[in-house]
Chains A and B, each alone.
Chain A
């Protein structure tokens, strides 16, 4: 018998930390890698399903026969798993199922909208800071530092009180902090890209700044943006739900998962389903987007190649 030996780690070859402009095949390769990941497909399927549900909410309302705001005080706190209210009713006799369906609109809408805004602003700032350098970089990055130093929730509280937010305002509020992280990421990537020969070459040919940034830098930071965006959606849905829960987000009577939970707190001694279902929806949504985001990172992140 051969004696056992300690397990020593073999150093894994970490190549390709630096990468030049992704060739055309990069996108196809990433896409193939993503499609081969079964967990990713499943998670992506869940996200897609939820998106369809959110968009088609008014249609789903038809067979259920209840509106999200429709009250029935004669049938409040109806327990779940029984017709006609499959997931029960709340304290005003509103159908939980249809409220969850409409809640998906709010959650997913805010998730995607916020990521869009934060990524756009963050990319612009990051590109500018990284490209121009010197005092532009210095000033912009100090501002980024300030926003990263904030315990964001305190800012959200302040802003929420000012704006009494709907979907768009809540997205803007969350994005007002979220852009800083994106900006820092894009800046550091831009700094490494800027030193590349082709950048110098293009510059010496007299290309204008804006053109250089949009045509040459942007496509190169795109993979990293895709990764950060797909990982960001889930976290933003969580933050938005927390704000709704605190009563600082989407205002009643508009159904959102967070505010449903907040409401249910009072009643969960006798109606625990009012707590369980909305939380489950948040959990499933965030889990699916996070798993999908992880898979996207594995497939697209040039640093993991």
Chain B
């Protein structure tokens, strides 16, 4: 039953994926498809040379042929090669992927870990001091630019702490260039970018958990749970939370594009060597095969993420499998 449900969701995702590749391809073609870095600037090249290079790169063929060639490559796991250094785009992406997953995963995990209990407590004590404080925090979290928050944290915990001779945190990269790479070193590098990203999730999700808990707590089956004579903790964290987590799962699934996009800005601020930073740096260099590859790959991550959220939801909610 669950299998068929998953199959249906996968089938529905295919046209979306094709649409994403078409948009990406057209966009990149318009942006930089006729452009080979440095080519026009090189006085030694004749028009004939340029034409030859373009032909070698396949840029003289009709648009749809180029698209299908590129798509066919992607389906075989071939995202092309970088125009800058000739390395495999997929190799570049896969090399950076663990870093991105480390950062985003940590932030999502920390976000959920903190947001859920905060949301539950403020739902139970609505209008209380904590609830009002969290409303304020979430509004602030919604309005504060992540890159600015990141810069402020660097200013305080790296720059000022160092100036005050306190133990300071590294502000850039995923590990130290010299003698780095150990677990502790990596953790130190993760703290600041992780804090910026998870602060954002905490401020959004704690409000969301709160409102869905408020709704769940007014349901009849919660009254049943009370009538069975169980503790407040059991009513809240077992009977109610299991239901309100369902909607959080959906929300996180829907927000995955935002999660990956938000990660990009933080990666840039903290020089975190993930996919976002790769795309950003290569975009500035007009390395459009890499940008196309990362965009498609990120969209693929989004689609897979949505799919996972759907499946997780179906797994958590027994009612959905039969729909």
Docked complex Cα distance between A150 and B303 (Å): 9
Which of B147, B214, B264, B265 neighbours the largest number of chain A CB atoms within 10 Å of its CB?
B147
Given contacts A142-B15, A234-B143, A290-B139, contact A283 B148 (CB under 8 A): yes
* Contact call B151/A268, Cβ cutoff below 8 A: yes
Given contacts A157-B283, A161-B32, A234-B143, contact A279 B218 (CB under 8 A): no
Interface bits B277-302 vs A (CB < 8 Å: 1, else 0): 00110011010000100110011011
* Contact call B30/A261, Cβ cutoff below 8 A: no
**B124 CB within 8 Å of chain A:** yes
Given contacts A12-B218, A261-B147, A290-B142, contact A149 B306 (CB under 8 A): yes
* Contact call B32/A157, Cβ cutoff below 8 A: no
* Contact call B147/A242, Cβ cutoff below 8 A: yes
* Contact call B151/A261, Cβ cutoff below 8 A: yes
Chain B residue contacts of A234, Cβ below 8 A? 142-143
Chain A residue contacts of B283, Cβ below 8 A? 157-158, 161, 248
Nearest CB on A from B104, distance (A):
11
Nearest CB on B from A240, distance (A):
10
**A8 CB within 8 Å of chain B:** yes
* Contact call B302/A150, Cβ cutoff below 8 A: yes
Chain A residue contacts of B294, Cβ below 8 A? 154
Docked complex Cα distance between A261 and B298 (Å): 27
Which of A150, A241, A278 neighbours the largest number of chain B CB atoms within 10 Å of its CB?
A150
Nearest CB on A from B113, distance (A):
24
- Select B279's contact among A11, A145, A154, A290, beta carbons within 8 Å: A154
Given contacts A157-B291, A269-B159, contact A282 B145 (CB under 8 A): yes
Nearest CB on A from B77, distance (A):
20
Give the contacts of A284-305 with B (CB-CB under 8 A): 286-287, 290-291, 294
* Contact call B145/A158, Cβ cutoff below 8 A: no
Which of B17, B27, B301 neighbours the largest number of chain A CB atoms within 10 Å of its CB?
B27
* Contact call B31/A146, Cβ cutoff below 8 A: no
Nearest CB on A from B310, distance (A):
13
Docked complex Cα distance between A153 and B144 (Å): 18
Docked complex Cα distance between A8 and B226 (Å): 8
- Select B152's contact among A6, A149, A279, beta carbons within 8 Å: A279
Given contacts A152-B257, A158-B295, contact A142 B19 (CB under 8 A): yes
Residue of A nearest to B154 (CB): A268
**A24 CB within 8 Å of chain B:** no
Docked complex Cα distance between A10 and B220 (Å): 10
Chain B residue contacts of A12, Cβ below 8 A? 218
A contact face: mostly helix, strand, loop, or mixed: helix
Residue of A nearest to B288 (CB): A158
* Contact call A151/B257, Cβ cutoff below 8 A: yes
B contact face: mostly helix, strand, loop, or mixed: helix
Residue of A nearest to B160 (CB): A272
Give the contacts of A157-197 with B (CB-CB under 8 A): 157-159, 161-162
Chain A residue contacts of B124, Cβ below 8 A? 7
**B249 CB within 8 Å of chain A:** no
Docked complex Cα distance between A166 and B33 (Å): 22
Chain B residue contacts of A147, Cβ below 8 A? 23
- Select A149's contact among B28, B284, B299, beta carbons within 8 Å: B299
* Contact call A151/B280, Cβ cutoff below 8 A: no
Chain B residue contacts of A157, Cβ below 8 A? 279-280, 283, 291
Docked complex Cα distance between A9 and B125 (Å): 11
- Select B295's contact among A154, A162, A245, A282, beta carbons within 8 Å: A154
Nearest CB on B from A298, distance (A):
13
**B260 CB within 8 Å of chain A:** yes
Interface bits B10-24 vs A (CB < 8 Å: 1, else 0): 000001110110011
Residue of B nearest to A238 (CB): B145
Chain A residue contacts of B147, Cβ below 8 A? 242, 245, 261
Docked complex Cα distance between A261 and B159 (Å): 17
Chain B residue contacts of A155, Cβ below 8 A? 23, 27, 295
Chain B residue contacts of A42, Cβ below 8 A? none
Docked complex Cα distance between A286 and B159 (Å): 27
**A247 CB within 8 Å of chain B:** yes
Docked complex Cα distance between A278 and B283 (Å): 26
**A148 CB within 8 Å of chain B:** yes
Chain A residue contacts of B154, Cβ below 8 A? 268
* Contact call B218/A9, Cβ cutoff below 8 A: yes
Q: Can you add 10 more A-B contacts, CB < 8 Å, to A150-B302, A152-B261?
A: A12-B218, A145-B15, A146-B19, A150-B295, A151-B261, A153-B261, A161-B32, A282-B148, A286-B142, A287-B140
Which 6 A-B pairs give the minimum distances between C-beta atoms?
Answer: A146-B19, A279-B148, A287-B143, A153-B261, A162-B31, A9-B218
- Contact residues of B with A, CB < 8 Å? 15-17, 19-20, 23-24, 27-28, 30-32, 124, 139-140, 142-148, 151-152, 154-155, 159, 214, 217-219, 222-223, 226, 232, 235, 257-258, 260-261, 264-265, 268, 276, 279-280, 283-284, 286, 291, 294-295, 298-299, 301-303, 306
Can you list 9 A-B contacts (CB < 8 A)?
A153-B264, A153-B265, A154-B261, A157-B291, A162-B31, A268-B154, A279-B152, A283-B144, A294-B139
- Contact residues of A with B, CB < 8 Å? 6-12, 142-143, 145-155, 157-159, 161-162, 234, 238, 241-242, 245-248, 261, 264-265, 268-269, 272, 275-276, 278-279, 282-283, 286-287, 290-291, 294
